[in-house]
């Protein structure tokens, strides 16, 4: 059969956002940080889909919703390879890769229980840095401790 | 160089090399002539939310030698903190009564936060396990005074290099001066990788040892620290290492003539008392230098030097 389909197609959405190229193992984390489990919009998602670029990937499609900068920063922290595609009436109006910000404010909690941000009403602030192995770390601007992705807890 | 005047000092990395050297130069002036009543119209607040003997007394001594007034408290028990007042409210209130606030607080990062909310400059006198920049400045002053320079020295740090905040700040500051570092510690208390990354980024060398004796002949400075038993999850592990990093006088026999032994104090048993009379022992003068350095810092931040 010449037009045999070799990839799974998740339904197209009329208007909304597609988050593509999510690392397969972080789809549910992205789902959670965006609070999609409580969304009343139509949400489709898939994981372990074939990807030419990454081998396996995840995808989330949300009808009738665009994301703000702060939410996109959150996505970038757990899924730095993700692409955000905005769709209006089946037409792609915007497509861009997420960018890891250099600095984030009041998005994640500091993992250090003695940090002032866990005791006083202080918005958290972190610089995103790379360690000597090139791994992303978050440097707390207050207690100056660095934490890895495994310790990230979103506010 | 940014102005030191009216700027808080939270972390030693807030200062450039030039700014550090400027404070040390001003401190030399106070060493020559300590009683300069230039602070007679000023009030300094010392807010110690947790007890400290050396740091608090040396700050208060510094203010008094400068002729300034002091207000404050030596424990959170006697302040409104006990009534549940936020740090922000305490700082905003006290800033109405003083020109400069010296603060020690057990929360990591509290000094940075205080500096953001305070209309007057903050000097961090220790924020939990994080930073203690005036200890770092007095260590640098002591090293420069005894060696004649801060450049190109071999600095050996001994003991608890994992949790000791003074050694972390000191490594950051000395990385500006082409230091070769020698880190001596038990396996479980090694220098954290974040600090070693700092050294690497500065393009400098560090060497790690678990044996103490081999660094003594090559060191210009032996910076001793206390190994605390409570740091070890396994008491047996502590028993194994607790006596491995004790310096006694006989061990200094093959050291350089110019070697000096430093310690941030308090010491427990890591430097035997028979070292105290050796001219290479410098830890008590080091504590005295803390007053000159704190005088210099207060005077510079208030724009009086």
Strand boundaries in chain B, DSSP class E: 43-48, 69-73, 100-105, 122-127, 154-158, 180-184, 206-209, 221-224, 260-262
Quick one: B107 and B69 in the same domain?
yes
**Model confidence over B73-126: pLDDT tens digits?**
998 887 777 778 999 999 999 999 999 999 999 999 999 999 999 999 999 999
CATH code, domain with B275: 3.40.50.1370
Residue B10 neighbours by CB under 8 Å, 6+ apart: B111, B112, B115, B122, B124, B127, B131, B133
The C-alpha angle with vertex B136 and arms to B134 and B140, in degrees rounded to 5, equals: 115
**Model confidence over B15-54: pLDDT tens digits?**
999 999 999 999 999 999 999 999 999 999 999 999 888 8
Quick one: B122 and B162 in the same domain?
no
Q: Is residue B6 part of a domain?
A: no
Q: Which of A70-84, A94-108, B40-54, B137-151 has the highest mean predicted lDDT (pLDDT)?
A: B137-151
Q: Please answer yes or no on whether A117 and B129 come within 8 Å at the CB atom.
A: no
Question: Which residues in chain A have their CB less than 8 angstroms from residue B87's CB?
Answer: 116, 120
pLDDT confidence of residue B1:
58
Question: What pTM, to 2 d.p., does this model score?
Answer: 0.88
ipTM of the complex: 0.89
**Chain B CA closest to residue A120:** B86
Of A110, A114, A146, the CB nearest to B128: A114
Interface check for B11 against chain A (CB to CB < 8 A): the answer is yes
Quick one: B166 and B275 in the same domain?
yes
Question: Which residues in chain B have their CB less than 8 angstroms from residue A110's CB?
Answer: 109
Contact B68, B45 (CB under 8 A): no
**Minimum distance, in Å, between the CA of residue A139 and any CA atom of chain B:** 11
Q: Is residue B145 part of a domain?
A: yes
Q: Is residue B1 part of a domain?
A: no
Task: Tell me the domains of chain A and their CATH numbers.
Answer: 16-97 (3.30.70.140), 103-154 (2.30.30.20)
Any idea which residues of B carry the catalytic annotation? 54-55, 83, 104, 132
Range of the domain at B67: 12-131+290-301
Number of domains in chain B: 2
Please give the Cα distance from B8 to B215 (Å, whole number). 37
Closest CA to B42 of B103, B114, B102, B110: B102
Give me the residues of A, 72-111, that contact B with CB < 8 A. 110
Quick one: B154 and B122 in the same domain?
no
Of B11, B107, B112, the CB nearest to A119: B107
Q: Is residue B4 part of a domain?
A: no
Quick one: B203 and B264 in the same domain?
yes
**Chain A CA closest to residue B130:** A143
Quick one: B189 and B244 in the same domain?
yes
């Amino acid at each position: 059969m010449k037009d045999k389909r070799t990839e799974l197609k998740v339904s197209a959405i009329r208007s909304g956002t597609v988050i593509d190229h999510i690392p397969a193992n972080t789809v549910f984390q992205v789902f959670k940080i965006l609070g999609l489990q409580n969304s009343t919009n139509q949400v489709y998602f898939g994981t372990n889909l074939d990807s030419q670029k990454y081998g396996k990937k995840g995808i989330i499609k949300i009808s009738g919703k665009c994301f703000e900068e702060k939410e996109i920063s959150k996505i970038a922290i757990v899924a730095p390879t993700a692409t955000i595609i905005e769709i209006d009436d089946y037409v792609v109006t915007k497509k861009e890769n997420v960018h890891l910000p250099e600095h984030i404010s009041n998005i994640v909690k500091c993992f250090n229980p003695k940090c002032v941000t866990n005791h006083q009403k202080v918005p958290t602030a972190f610089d995103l840095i790379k360690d000597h192995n090139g791994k992303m770390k978050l440097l707390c601007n207050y207690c100056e401790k660095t934490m890895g992705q495994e310790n990230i807890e979103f506010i | 160089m940014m102005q030191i005047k009216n700027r808080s000092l939270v972390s030693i990395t807030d200062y450039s090399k030039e700014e550090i050297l400027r404070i040390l130069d001003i401190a030399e002036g106070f060493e020559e002539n300590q009683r300069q009543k230039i602070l007679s119209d000023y009030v300094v607040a010392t807010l110690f939310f947790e007890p400290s003997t050396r740091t608090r007394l040396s700050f208060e001594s510094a203010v008094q030698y400068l002729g300034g007034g002091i207000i404050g408290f030596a424990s959170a028990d006697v302040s409104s903190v006990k009534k549940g007042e936020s740090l922000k409210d305490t700082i905003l209130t006290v800033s109405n009564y003083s020109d400069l606030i010296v603060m020690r607080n057990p929360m990591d990062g509290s000094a940075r936060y205080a500096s953001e909310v305070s209309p007057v400059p903050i000097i961090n006198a220790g924020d939990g396990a994080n930073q203690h920049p005036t200890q770092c400045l007095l260590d640098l002053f002591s090293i420069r005074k005894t060696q004649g320079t801060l450049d190109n020295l071999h600095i050996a740090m001994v003991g608890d290099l994992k949790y000791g905040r003074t050694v972390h700040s000191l490594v950051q500051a000395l990385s500006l001066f082409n230091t070769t570092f020698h880190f001596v510690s038990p396996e479980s208390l090694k220098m954290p990788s974040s600090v070693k990354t700092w050294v690497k980024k500065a393009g400098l060398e560090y060497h790690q040892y678990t044996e103490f004796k081999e660094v003594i002949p090559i060191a210009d400075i032996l910076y001793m620290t206390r190994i605390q038993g409570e740091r070890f999850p396994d008491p047996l592990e502590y028993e194994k290492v607790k006596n491995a990093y004790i310096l006694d006088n006989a061990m200094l026999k093959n050291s350089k003539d110019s070697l000096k032994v430093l310690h941030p104090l308090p010491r427990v048993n890591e430097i035997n008392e028979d070292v105290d009379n050796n001219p290479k022992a410098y830890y008590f003068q080091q504590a005295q230098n803390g007053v000159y350095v704190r005088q210099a810092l207060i005077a510079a931040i208030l724009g009086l030097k």
